[in-house]
Amino acid sequence: MSFLILVRHGQSIWNLEKRFTGWVDVDLTDIGKAEAEKAGLLIKKRNIKVDLYYSSLQLRANNTLKLIQKALDDEKIFTKSWQLNERHYGALTGLNKVEMGEKLGKDKIYEFRRSWDIKPDPLSKNSPFHPTNIETYKKLSKNVIPDTESLKDTYTRVIEYYEKEIQKKLLNQNILISAHGNSIRALCKYLFKLDNDQISNLEIPTGNPLVIEFNEKSIINSCEYLDKDRAKNLLVF
């Protein structure tokens, strides 16, 4: 038996401001920090010893993980990968979701946010929000940096990394991944075999550990959110 714990980062500054964030590096709000600390305490109460930690390259996911580890009294070094990054929202990056809904229509914004294979227009490389202009990605090959992404694009890179770096380690180790709404949605689609309609309806709450239990044959036995008051419908259990 082993456990995979998926945690979307705590509330970020741009979450609070209702802005499309994507690959931009923004930090947590005070609420987000509290969510991360609570996540760590809930994992500790559940008495799960985490063997390996993974995160994206992004500050909000990294700082969420650090606060979880602090609550667990665990100082292990965690592995970072760009493939666990949030979906890139292209030309929508930095814009206010409510204002864009009024401008383009709520249905169009929902389509951009929730559809499987539709992507926004690409973000100009001259934008300060383009990853090539953000210090976090200076060492990352420009060949892998997107200008925009659909959920399908995000799924491809996330699952490629999961299958190569994480899946086999779950045979005998407990793993925690601190990531983002869409990278975790991608993992849920893969793990729970959700179809494209189901994944469009899946919401991932901030800072709430999703604990997935595997049996010795790597089959999912159960899954649950540890913060019951803030749990979302998983569509599968």
189 phi/psi in degrees, rounded to 5:
-60, -45
According to DSSP, the β-strands at 2-8 and 175-179 are: parallel
Is residue 9 part of the annotated active site? The answer reads yes
Catalytic residue status for 130? no
| Active-site choice (35, 86, 149, 180) | 86
Half-sphere exposure of 93 (CA within 13 A, CB side): 27
Return the residue matching tokens 């063997």.
51
Element housing 31 (H / E): helix 30-46
Return the axis-axis angle of helices 106-114 and 97-104, rounded to nearest 10°.
120
Q: List the structure tokens of 229.
A: 């008051």
SS3 of residue 65 by DSSP: helix
What is the DSSP-derived secondary structure letter of residue 233? -
Residues known to be catalytic? 9, 86
